[in-house]
Amino acid sequence: MEVEVKLRLPDPETHQALLFLLAPFHVTTHRQHNAFFDGAAGELSSRAAVLRLRFYDGDSKCVASLKAKSTLVNGISRVEEDEEEIDPQAGRACVFDPNELRAVDSRVVKRAREEFQVGERGFVGLGGFDNVRGVYEWEGLNLEVDETMYDFGTCYEVECESTEPEKAKDAIERLLRENGICFSDSVASKFAIFRSGKMPYITAKVIYNEAIFIFPVPILNFFFERKVIVQ
């Protein structure tokens, strides 16, 4: 079970402000491409699962992941995940022709095929998206700051995998509030946003002169310019 804190950042300016804040704690930056697959008859999606191939920094690395039974509540994601590294060239061949997944040397792909009883028609590609991920080590937490580029827009997010997600979430939120970084709980996974084909509608709570307001995120640009704290 993978458990992560997921907090949405509203715009590129806020994203850049957070990158600047975390710069002393920077470890690395990855450029990722994510490609997704289902059975031709929907064998995975009908059981709330998906197969993903993630490529790092071109073809320097490829990881196959089988994800299932995902939930996202109050900014904390829980998902059953099984993953392993595979040959990047074999992964690229699968993106070009999903039928290659029948022959790829991968325990995870084999599990997806057998456990979800993918039929003779095999797998189909669902498409994918790019992501730039900055990795930071801060206060004992591994923070990942994402810029996710879809065909229909760009989303910004902070993620943190933790065995104590509530405690980690409190620490991250405190960091953001104390530095005037606007944020809200993520309401959908990257894959869910990708499949919906549209940007998520996000609201956030604004504390202003000790009063609490709930606004759609686009309206919050007025407050961002004034460094009002969002929680």
* CA 119 from centroid of its chain's CA atoms: 29
pLDDT in tens, 29-44: 999 999 999 999 999 9
Tokens (6 digits) for 14: 């806020």
Please say whether the beta carbons of 24 and 178 come within 8 A. no
pLDDT in tens, 113-136: 999 999 989 999 999 999 999 999
Angstrom distance (rounded) from CA 136 to CA 171: 14
Best CA proximity match to 103, nearest among 115, 91, 119: 91
Is the per-residue pLDDT at 77 higher than 60?
A: yes
SS (H, E, C) the chain: CEEEEEEEECCHHHHHHHHHHHHHHEEEEEEEEEEEEEECCCCCHHHCEEEEEEEECCCCEEEEEEEEEEEEECCEEEEEEEEEEECHHHHHHHHHCHHHHHCCCCHHHHHHHHHCCCCCCCEEEEEEEEEEEEEEEECCEEEEEEEEEECCEEEEEEEEECCCHHHHHHHHHHHHHHCCCCCEECCCCHHHHHHHCCCCCCEEEEEECCEEEEEEHHHHHHHHCCCCEEC
Domains along the sequence of the chain with CATH: 2-230 (2.40.320.10)
Stated length of the chain:
231
Best CA proximity match to 216, nearest among 230, 197, 203: 203
Over pLDDT 70: what percentage of the chain? 87
Q: How far is CA 5 from CA 71, 87, 129, 142, in A?
A: 12, 30, 21, 11
pLDDT in tens, 167-215: 999 999 999 999 999 999 999 999 999 999 998 866 555 545 544 444 5
- The pLDDT value recorded for residue 202 is 61
